[in-house]
Structure formats: C-alpha cells, structure tokens
Amino acid sequence: MTFDAAVLRGYDSAFAVEEVVLRTGPADGEVLVRIAGCGMCRTDLAVRGSAGRSPLPAVLGHEGSGVVVQTGGPDTGLDPGDHVVLSFDSCGRCRTCAAGAPAYCDSFAALNLFGGRREHAGRFTDAAGGPLAPRWFGQSAFAEYAVVAARNTVRVDPALPVELLGPLGCGFLTGAGAVLHTFRAGPGDSVVVLGAGAVGLAAVMAATAAGATVVAVDRHRERLASAERLGAVPVPAAPAGLAARLRRLTDGGAAYALDTTASARLINDALQALRPTGHLGLVARLHSPLPLEVGALDRGRRISHICEGDAVPGVLIPRLIGLWQAGRFPFDQLIRTYPLAAVNDAERDCDAGRVVKPVLIPQGAGR
C-alpha cells in the first residue's frame, strides 16, 4: 500500500511530505493503524542534533493514535476498528520488562532511538524504493498509517476524540508519570516543576490532580500563565535567589522537583530548594557534565533520571484519560492541531514556544 508521510532526509533539512510504500502487512504480534493524529515531541526534533546516531532518511513521530485496520497473527488482542493510543517500544523479554518497567528495557535505545526493529526493515520504502529507517519509537507516526507492535498499543473508548490522545503516549505520560508513579505525590506534598513545556505542564496537571502544592518555573511569561491556569504558582527563572524563593513558597522546602530543562543552574537551584530527603527527577537529556554545588545532596536529598514517567502505558494512559474526563487533567487545552502537510509550520511554532503541543492530522486515508 502507498500513503503519505513526513520524511526527514537530512539532519539540517525540512520535513517533506512524500508518498511512501508499505510492501508487506503486519507480522505476528503487529497491527496496522490508520493514524488519526500524532503529537510532535521535542525528542522528534532532537534527531537533528543526534550526530547521525538516529538513521535517516526516516519517518519520525512517536505520539500517534488512530484506528486498527489490520492485525497480524491471532495473538494481538486487538481487532480491526479498535481505537488505540501508541506508546514507546520495548522488547517484553528482558529483566526490566519482566519486572514491569518497560521504559528501562535493555533494548530501549536500539528499539526507539537508534535504528528501530531490525525485523522486516526492508518493507518500508520511499516511492522510488529507497529504504527508510526502521520504525521510530516503534511507530513512525508522522504518516497516514503505521505498523506497530500490539504490545505498544493501548485500546481506548471509541467515543473519545482519538486524534487528540496521541501525546498521552509520551510527552504527557512522562510528566504525569513522574509525579504519579515516581514521586507518588499527594495531598500535603509540594512539587517544583522546572520548565513549563508539554512535559512540565503535564506534571503540573498531575500534581494538582493529586492534591499537591505546585510551583512552576519558566522564563516565558506565556508558559507561566498556562501553568498558573492549571493550578501552579508561577515563578520566573530569575538568575539569582531562586532557590530561596522556592523554599519560601514550599514552606521550607519542596518534597519533589522535576527538571525538564537540563539547565545546570536550575538543577542546582532545585536541589537547594528541596527539603531533607527530597527527590529531584530529571527527564531532559544532559548534553554536558553536571556540576553540583557543595551541599546540594546533603541531608538525604537525591537525584535520579526518570524515563517515560516510569510508566506502564497500558496502566497510566487509561488513568490519565479518566482524570481528563473528570476535568482534572485538561491536556486538550495545550494542543493545537496542524494538517500533516504543515509539519514544518508545527516545528517552527514549537521551537518558538507559540504552541505547547502540536498534533499533526493526516488529511488522506491512504490508498
């Protein structure tokens, strides 16, 4: 079958919407999904700075959602017509997958970032027969269709607006999962969120829904305004005195802090703002050594990296949908939709901070 997809051919190139070819259908354990919408995540855009580690040309996109049109084999647990949200890839066999921690799969980087699945790699090509990189994050969902492992799909109620649900599979899942799963924040706790982008605002919404006090730090007034609307106390990322101000706002120190910025200065401010035994989680990738100030980890404070919100997607995504339906996780307020053909406009708006979460909507239905 042939259909349209946004192809990235070079690390400095714009996306180009092209006709691509799927030469075989889903194999055992896979499903073919007609994409209704796909969120654009910072990780998609970070491919440009990956120094060639993420192979190109490729179809990116890893916050897809849509409708199953074909299943491979009898054991997918899905049927044509099922509405699904797609999430990250994992092997399902290693020790961490078996322990219920698929975000820490032994093959996570290989499957999601640096090559994808090797099986059936040649079945996905451009119109001229040139190979495209294997599935990005198990999806390659900047497209009208995607072949995904059934393991990476979460069935949802067909009455929901499926085209908006894709970001629950990564960006919103990461921020919310850090608060609800890693921190297990609740009433009486205080949470500082550094960076009020998609992941940070998801953390704000989750912390508010959990009954915690939330403080959001950002350098953009518009994003601070969004955080305030969602229940956070807004604090500009001032170059001096930030840690002291955060301690005042959290009654002597925050129980938890989540950094989405990878800024060494903000990370140190957050550590200094924690109460004894407080926990700082990092979700952004660090690109240089992280110098810690003297005393930053005193008194039982700790720091850890959090991948994909420590989430099991099949558990957390339905929970987030339930919170949304109850009016307690209004992620749809952060979304702006774009036709797939406007993928470069969506990227520019995302980079400029004009939109929190772009969602690309394919215009055709494939052929």
Per-residue pLDDT tens digits for 143-170? 999 999 999 999 999 999 999 999 999 9
Q: What is the mean pLDDT of the chain?
A: 93
* 366 pLDDT higher than 50: no
Give the C-alpha separation, 159 to 191, whole Å.
34
- Weakest mean pLDDT among 46-50, 133-137, 294-298: 46-50
pLDDT in tens, 337-353: 999 999 999 999 998 88
In the Cβ-directed half-sphere of 290, how many Cα atoms lie within 13 Å? Answer: 20
Instruction: Give the residue carrying structure tokens 């120190």.
Output: 253
- Look at residue 42 and tell me whether its pLDDT is greater than 50: yes
* Cα within 13 Å of Cα(219), Cβ side: 8
Over range 185-210, report the average pLDDT: 97
More confident residue, 143 or 366: 143
Q: Residue 339 in contact with residue 17, Cβ under 8 Å?
A: no
Compute the distance between CA of residue 346 and CA of residue 341 in angstroms, rounded to an integer.
10
DSSP-derived secondary structure letter, 31: E
Paired tokens of 267: 């990370």
DSSP character string of 46-87: GGGGSTT-S-SSEE---EEEEEEEEE-SS-SS--TT-EEEE-
Statement: residue 365 has pLDDT above 50: no
Instruction: Determine the Cα–Cα distance for residues 133 and 82; give it in Å rounded to an integer.
Output: 27
Residue 348 sits at the vertex; the CA angle it makes with 66 and 8, to the nearest 5 degrees, is: 60
Q: What is the arithmetic mean of pLDDT over 305-333?
A: 97
Compare 287 and 184 and report the one with higher pLDDT: 184
Q: Which residues, at least 6 apart from 352, have a Cβ–Cβ distance to it below 8 Å?
A: none
Structure confidence by residue, pLDDT tens digits, 198-237: 999 999 999 999 999 999 999 999 999 999 999 999 999 9
DSSP state for residue 53 in the 8-state scheme: -
Indicate the pairing of strand 213-218 with strand 124-126.
unpaired
Q: What mean pLDDT do residues 180-206 have? A: 97
More confident residue, 249 or 133: 249
Nearest residue to 167 via CA among 310, 37, 48: 37
Quote the pLDDT of residue 99. Answer: 96
* Residue 48 in tokens: 């440009």
Spatial contact of 36 and 339, defined as CB atoms under 8 Å apart? no
CA 39 to centroid of chain Cα atoms: 9
DSSP, res 6:
E
Contact 248, 190 (CB under 8 A): no
Instruction: Single out the residue of 64, 262, 45 nearest to residue 145, CA to CA.
Output: 64
- Token match 């005042």: residue? 248
Would you state the pLDDT for residue 13?
93
pTM of the predicted model as reported, rounded to 2 decimal places: 0.94
CA dihedral for 120, 173, 65, 132, sign (positive or negative):
negative
For 109-147, what is each residue's pLDDT tens digit?
A: 988 987 666 666 678 899 999 989 878 998 999 999 999
**pLDDT value of position 115:** 67
Give the pLDDT score at 46.
Answer: 87
Place of tokens 């903000």: 266
In the predicted structure, residue 367 carries a pLDDT above the cut 60: no
Q: What percent of the chain has pLDDT over 70?
A: 96
pLDDT tens for each residue of 169-179:
999 999 999 99
Which tops the pLDDT comparison, 114 or 107?
107
**pLDDT value, residue 285:** 85
